[in-house]
Structure 1
């Protein structure tokens, strides 16, 4: 289990809860997973029900590849974010160019403001209405990022990751703040790029500014421009005088000072009504996100978790196997407990009662007896999970077929020991071993990556080195 824990130790609390939710969704959609050893490891780790549910889910996620899928998803999310950032920078530069043009014709002030702030204002109002009325604040950019992240991951195990993340965050309504931080951050970058584009164009070209209308009077524009310029003026941006506003209604004023006043007014409006709200909202979303993350918890009342309560915190011990066997046996992974193991143990599996057992054991080697029942199997596995031996010898009778249950037991035993060797017992005097059945044992043990011997590994158990 140590080998499985090592990569998971780097996960943040949010990622651990995320994987736990992903495992729950997978079991809801595809049925319960084979989790005997996961449950045993979770019970051995102790703690409250939430920590045991999390430990079980992380063990299953590591075993079934969901932890690796999470890493792939994160890589895809980073790539998707970089693409959106690049798109925001390019779009902002394009907005600046579209607002000012090439300098040949005077800049229509209302068209320029509409180009710079029109879509921003619509999406901002939509986000605020979503938060206040619907309570979710979902945004197209956020959904696009999630979609791109899943596409870039290209991992079949990542199917439940995005839904699991949304389900987890929705319990504390964190999805609106997380996606809001992303959306407002992208918009802030876009508007900052537009501001840089405007500064570059205004510094290298000569622009004239006019306002044009057929239906509205000049007083309307005077009021509108002064109203829009009130907040920028507080922050130090200049506002055109009434005379300059009226003079700019027919043709662009040629004076250099007038051009500069209009240019500063446009920049001030962009900063105050575009860039500044997005930056403030991004900071607010980041603050709410950090607050909500600290209070994230599993909802143990969900059916998927309620069913685990008796298995992970049983009121009375339940022995035996209750789940169907998996299609493929897991690799034994010997050496997984090497960092926390000591001593040596010899155990036998389903021996003929007429065979004398145990043999004379070297000093320091414990006899775990013969496993013949589910109760003995469960008891031994519980003991090994708490006190893993450095060396484990498993004696098997090669006259019996290596059925799936026996091989699963060997794999489970080996995962709870530092090193493991299987002892294929010799035939009784006057008997001969079936060569085909012996070959089946060899193939099966090699598939489990377990080392086997025909002779007794008693010297090895006693501490001798090969």
Structure 2
């Protein structure tokens, strides 16, 4: 069985199976439970083993791969939008790349206005809405589901969100996405701004109706104080006053305003997004390391007895008898220990002589007639899988779904399996049409079959 790449993906699939059973009822999980018990480990490990087997059988493992591919495509789309948006912000700030005087505060609003609004929205959502990823986070989830093109992938998103709520990881995962995209957009805006300012000549001015000159000077120097600590230019009060209503032609004035604009973008744009992205990343990594199944949930409590019987948890009080009451010893066949090859029959008529004479290296697993016999044999095979297994069936019977499901489960319990279509007893004729039904059904299951005795193959591994 192919397995998910990380512990997080295994937990995600396990939570998906729990939600599916909670809303649609218990799944057919006999073989999954046997494999989980045989794999051993604690209860949480067994629940995950069971869930992964069910997920692969029901197509959820493939749906997870499709969803991850869709998530990658959605991320690529958002990255492209961030690249174009960052360049667009810089072009809009400097008049779409045309030379001419620039209103510094209109330029600043073009560069930082939407960034500051969305940043405040994210912080408010973090405080009041819990696991908030903002509009970009929700857009990524929606696009991921659309690009997955798999209806079963819709079951994965609710399970993902519930799983992330355990350690409040939703806010940090989506926050990392949001701040990472904004960091990219603002970095592209900074690079574009540098390129434009390096290749074109711009003059800067400011104008206002309500504010007086002193207020504007104080506002400009207040915004530029922190960037000035990193070496960016800061216009002096005389330059700021002289820039009212008209752009100065002096080179020093243009350079001071350009340095101030770049510094404000870096300090109030890129640095906050970088710090928040690093915070989200550290919280995501630490929270994911602590992520585990909540075994107190009703769905997992119901699995405890099936996957970890009380005899395992509290110890065995009395040794089990050689043969369970109500099951004849002959029906269970010879002990399986020491036999790497096994022969088992399914629902044979009493008139047939069974078993045939077997080599000493081949074990007789008996005749399976009841559900309890099937369960016990499958449990034993789960603990010690045979290398080679031959399953004898009577082609006089119809290949019903229950028998075919049993053959499939038996085949998965051994490394190699063959189906033996027994010849009819003396005096009876084999219905060719029914035999064709068996062949078609076994071919669909991918099981080798034939009417020749498999005893030589069981003994030596070849015919």
* TM-score (structure 2 length as normaliser): 0.91
Runs of 4+ in 1 over 6 A off after TM superposition: none
Indicate yes or no: 2:19 matched with 1:25.
yes
Q: In structure 2, what is the equivalent of residue 265 of structure 1?
A: 260
Stretches of structure 1 that go unaligned for 5 or more consecutive residues are: 318-340
Paired residues for 1:187-226 under 5 Å? 187-226=182-221
Aligned partner (choices 103, 110, 114) of residue 108 of structure 1? 103
Q: Secondary structure at the match of 2:310?
A: coil
Q: In structure 2, what is the equivalent of residue 154 of structure 1?
A: 149
Q: Offset at 1:464?
A: 5.2
Contact conserved, 2:112 with 2:265, CA < 8 A, in 1? Answer: yes
The whole-number CA distance in structure 2 between the counterparts of 1:315 and 1:308 is 12
Stretches of structure 2 that go unaligned for 5 or more consecutive residues are: 313-337
Indicate yes or no: 2:405 matched with 1:408.
yes
Paired residues for 1:117-266 under 5 Å? 117-266=112-261
Contact conserved, 1:342 with 1:388, CA < 8 A, in 2? Answer: no
Contact conserved, 1:396 with 1:422, CA < 8 A, in 2? Answer: yes
Deviations 1:329-365 (A, max 9, x none): xxxxxxxxxxxx9711011112222322211112300
Q: In structure 1, what is the equivalent of residue 285 of structure 2?
A: 290
Q: Offset at 1:266?
A: 0.5
* Worse overlay, 207-216 or 134-143: 134-143
Q: In structure 2, what is the equivalent of residue 93 of structure 1?
A: 87
Q: Offset at 1:250?
A: 2.6
Aligned partner (choices 62, 75, 96) of residue 69 of structure 2? 75
The whole-number CA distance in structure 1 between the counterparts of 2:455 and 2:372 is 27
When residues 426 and 27 of structure 1 are mapped into structure 2, their CA distance, relative to the original with a 3 A threshold, is: same
Deviations 1:276-315 (A, max 9, x none): 1001110111011110010001112223222222221233
Aligned partner (choices 288, 291, 303) of residue 298 of structure 2? 303
CA RMSD of aligned residues (A): 1.7
Q: In structure 2, what is the equivalent of residue 419 of structure 1?
A: 416
Q: In structure 2, what is the equivalent of residue 465 of structure 1?
A: 462
When the two structures are aligned, how many residues end up with a matched partner? 437
Q: Offset at 1:246?
A: 0.6
Q: Offset at 1:71?
A: 1.2
Q: In structure 2, what is the equivalent of residue 440 of structure 1?
A: 437
Contact conserved, 1:19 with 1:58, CA < 8 A, in 2? Answer: yes
Contact conserved, 2:233 with 2:255, CA < 8 A, in 1? Answer: no
Contact conserved, 2:339 with 2:363, CA < 8 A, in 1? Answer: no
The whole-number CA distance in structure 1 between the counterparts of 2:131 and 2:454 is 64
The whole-number CA distance in structure 2 between the counterparts of 1:185 and 1:118 is 18
Q: Offset at 1:432?
A: 2.1
Aligned partner (choices 393, 396, 412) of residue 396 of structure 1? 393
Deviations 1:176-228 (A, max 9, x none): 00111110011011011111111111111111111101121101101100110
The whole-number CA distance in structure 2 between the counterparts of 1:400 and 1:104 is 89
Higher relative contact order (CA 8 A, sep 6+): 1
Q: In structure 1, what is the equivalent of residue 333 of structure 2?
A: none
Q: In structure 1, what is the equivalent of residue 380 of structure 2?
A: 383
The whole-number CA distance in structure 2 between the counterparts of 1:186 and 1:94 is 15
Contact conserved, 2:133 with 2:178, CA < 8 A, in 1? Answer: no
Contact conserved, 2:345 with 2:368, CA < 8 A, in 1? Answer: yes
Contact conserved, 2:339 with 2:362, CA < 8 A, in 1? Answer: no
Indicate yes or no: 2:50 matched with 1:49.
no
Indicate yes or no: 2:424 matched with 1:430.
no
